[in-house]
Amino acid sequence: MLATNLSSPLTALSGVGPALAKTLSKLGLQHVEDLLFLLPLRYEDRSKLVKLGALNAGTRCLVEGEVLLAEVAFRGRRNLLVRLGDGSGQITLRYFYFSRQQQSQFAVGTRVSAFGDIRTGAAGLEMVHPEYRILKADQKAAQSDTLTPVYPMTEGIQQGRLRNLAAQAIRLMQATPPKELLPDEVREKLSMPLLTEALTYLHQPPTDADIRSLSAGQHPCQKRLAFEELLAHYLSLSNLRLRARKDDADALTKGGDVARKFVAELPFALTSAQQRVVEEILSDIKLPHPMMRLVQGDVGSGKTIVAAIACLHAIESGVQAAVMAPTELLAEQHYRNFSDWFTALGCAPVWLSGSQRAAAKRRALQSIRSGEARLAVGTHALFQDGVEFKKLGLVVIDEQHRFGVHQRMALREKGALADRHPHQLVMTATPIPRTLAMAAYADLDVSIIDELPPGRKPVQTVVLPDDRRGDVVARVRDACLAGRQAYWVCPLIEESELLDFQAAEASFDMLKTALPELRVGLIHGRMKSAEKEKVMRAFTAGELSVLVATTVIEVGVDVANASLMIIENAERMGLSQLHQLRGRVGRGDAQSNCVLLYKKPLGQLAKSRLAVLRDSNDGFVVAQRDLELRGPGEMLGTKQTGLPEYRVADLARDAELMPQVQMTAEKLRRVAAESVPAIIRRWTGDRGRYGKV
């Protein structure tokens, strides 16, 4: 029989039977090695025995003493009170739940050790429900020679049991250490300890360890592990990109004349950031391998034009392009824009959406299949079964900040034709902090439009309680009578389109009554897309002054004359979402304003969140604060993005390691390529997170 080692099943450890193994496997623990990566949440100091006379309330200590008195008291409920003394002082242990047998253990004169929180009770210092042990005549309190780890709460498993299992795992690790996968050179440069050193330290820290840095997750040993984990995920994700580079794509090299003409005839000049990003895209698509590029640009930075230029290059090079948006509303807006721009150039787009009439859809599908349609614009319907492109060369996906790596992959495969993959351009206005982008988008190249078109005035934002609604309505009246337009966005009601709609309807009625001289429109998620389209057109054409909307207008809607944005129940929304909504105004020459209405009372955290928006118009600043306040999972929508649940790393805390992770990944591929699959496997399992290792 093989000796127990790190890859043995947990049942190989003493004390683990099938039942416990099952409980552990629910926690994702299968092999002995997995225990090593289940890191303590915090540590307790049971290494020092504190004299009873030296105790301070508010600390957590190990004490020892002789029972002076044990009694059951009735103070509302039954209490077992055990008074201990050691000559220097006294303390009371208090138990609310106790058995008769426990009660009888505490005979006067018995020596007891206890560990727990010290607090001030009615009769001096006390410990409520401390862990305790009855000591034999010559026995001492068990003083531990390391700090005591406290593992994450795991239902059905006692801390003591986990400590014992982890200690067994550490012993096995020391007997047969796992391979060190970071080359010495890399480790030394980053001053990182060896893997085995880090693991030993974290499960059994010496008594003089810096508890503060450990509880902040900032200890070099914790960073060492977080680093390797982030590296593993980065390598796995960037493998996808490397593989894509080996795929074939049509090199889109022809022409550029039509695109140049298009740009020359625009009523404005491209910003230098737009020009730079266009260049980055063009140099990608002229290669015979699929582009996988993400364009990040704040709301209003002009991403659509950039996409349009890329599409023209594709069309001129003889392939089809597809532009997909996440909502019908936004897809329709793109369809209108591209129709206006491209019809004159001889390549009118076709429209494809889920809610389209059957006959129109059949015609669209036919023209996509025959290749007559050079550009298709639509929603996810573009990539459903039954849609066949003759020769799809470029896919543009707009506003897909919630679009995960798995979906990106699926789309790539969907568009693939006879071993050819389309080029892919993903655009998002949710600027995520750079380091986080490195972790989330390691499969993409990233371009940033970090400049707004000239002349934009920053939107002025105020935060008001909603009992000031009357003043706000008056503001809407003034702005609209001066020829401007306003959005009134209604409370977001999680997961209920019906409630969303009722709230929007109530505000709509209120505004119609309060503003009889103005034309007020309503748009919400439950309307048919033709109705939405009609309302949107009326607002775009200026026939409506006020548009009451649910958050369906969150992404992409572009009406330059709108200069006032009112958002109700702003306290319920995420910062990035509010920033997106606010980005609907400030698109024209007029000074624009945004009013964030909240319901009283507003907590401290909510207050500081809204203050972030009041104080900054910069999407990157907002995103960074959002990350700090909500964490990356919320921000990226962990589920949708396919971002992993990390075992050790915490992106909010450890994202700062990403630049080094990226450099190390490149170095490893050059000097220690054989360790790449091993690192991926250690942290993400046998298949690697994103397919073959």
Closer of 250 and 554 to Mg ion (Cβ)? 554
Q: With CB cut-offs between 5 and 8 Å by kind, which of Mg ion, ligand ADP, none does residue 521 bind?
A: none
Q: What is the closest distance, in whole angstroms, from the C-beta atom of residue 576 to ligand ADP in the complex?
A: 14
Cβ 575 vs Cβ 292: under 8 Å:
no
- Structure tokens that stand for 437 in this block: 């982008």
Whole-angstrom Cα distance, residue 421 to residue 418?
Answer: 8
Neighbours of 460 (CB within 10 A): 13
For 493-497, which contacts have Cβ atoms below 8 Å and span 24 or more sequence positions?
Answer: 497/524, 497/525, 497/526
- The least distance separating ligand ADP from the CB of residue 301, rounded to whole angstroms, comes to 4
CB closer to Mg ion, 223 vs 584: 584
- The DSSP-derived string for 495-549 is T-HHHHHHHHHHHHHHHHHH-TTS-EEEE-TTS-HHHHHHHHHHHHTTS-SEEEE
C-alpha span between 70 and 81 (Å, rounded): 6
Closest approach of Cβ 415 to ligand ADP, in Å?
Answer: 22
Question: Minimum CB separation from ligand ADP for residue 474, in Å?
Answer: 29
Identify the DSSP state of 93.
E
Cα torsion for 647, 652, 654, 659, to the nearest 10°? 120
Q: Which amino acid makes up residue 197?
A: E
Listed ranges 102-110, 522-530, 550-558, 652-660: which one lies at the site for Mg ion (CB under 5 A): 550-558
The residue with its CB nearest to ligand ADP is 302
Instruction: Identify which of residues 295 and 439 has a Cβ nearer to ligand ADP in the complex.
Output: 295
- Within a 10 A sphere around the Cβ of 131, how many other Cβ atoms? 13
Nearer to ligand ADP, 116 or 619 (CB): 619
271 binds, among ligand ADP, Mg ion, none (CB under 5 to 8 A by kind): ligand ADP
CB closer to ligand ADP, 236 vs 304: 304
Query: Which residues does residue 420 pair with via DSSP β-bridges, in sequence order?
Result: 248, 417
453 binds, among ligand ADP, Mg ion, none (CB under 5 to 8 A by kind): ligand ADP
Q: Which is nearer to Mg ion, 238 or 424 (CB)?
A: 424
Q: Rounded to the nearest whole angstrom, what is the least distance from the CB of residue 613 to ligand ADP in the complex?
A: 17
The whole-angstrom separation of Cα 316 and Cα 253 is 9
Q: In this complex, which beta carbon is closest to ligand ADP, that of residue 118 or of residue 377? A: 377
Q: How far is the CB of 456 from ligand ADP (least distance, A)?
A: 8
Among ligand ADP, Mg ion, none, what binds residue 270 when CB lies within 5 to 8 Å by partner kind?
ligand ADP
How near is the Cβ of 268 to ligand ADP at its closest, in Å?
4
User: Pairing between strand 320-324 and 375-378?
Assistant: parallel
Q: Which helix (H) or strand (E) holds 366?
A: helix 358-370
Residue 199 DSSP one-character state: H
Find all residues with CB under 8 Å of 11, minimum gap 6, and list them.
17, 18, 21
Query: Taking a C-beta distance cutoff of 8 angstroms, is the pair 182, 68 a contact?
Result: no
Cβ proximity to ligand ADP: between 91 and 581 the closer is 581
Q: CA quadruple 398, 404, 406, 407: dihedral positive or negative?
A: negative
Binding site for ligand ADP (CB under 6 A): 268, 270-271, 274, 297, 299-305, 429, 453, 556, 558, 560, 587
Nearest to 625 by CA among 583, 578, 581, 576: 576
Quick one: which of 65, 149, 205, 556 contacts Mg ion (CB under 5 A)?
556
Q: Measured from the CB atom, is 300 or 326 closer to ligand ADP?
A: 300
Determine contact, residues 141/116, Cβ cutoff 8 Å: no
- Smallest distance from the beta carbon of 664 to ligand ADP, in angstroms? 34
Residue 351: closest CA among 370, 384, 320, 373: 373
505 contact, one of Mg ion, ligand ADP, none, CB 5-8 Å limit per kind: none
Least Å from the CB of residue 303 to ligand ADP:
4
Q: Applying CB under 5 A, does 431 fall inside the site for Mg ion?
A: no
Q: Residue 230 or 552: which CB sits closer to ligand ADP?
A: 552
Taking the complex as a whole, the smallest distance from the CB of residue 525 to ligand ADP amounts, in Å, to 21
Nearest distance from residue 524's CB to ligand ADP, in Å?
Answer: 22
Q: Which is nearer to Mg ion, 86 or 450 (CB)?
A: 450
Binding site for Mg ion (CB under 5 A): 556
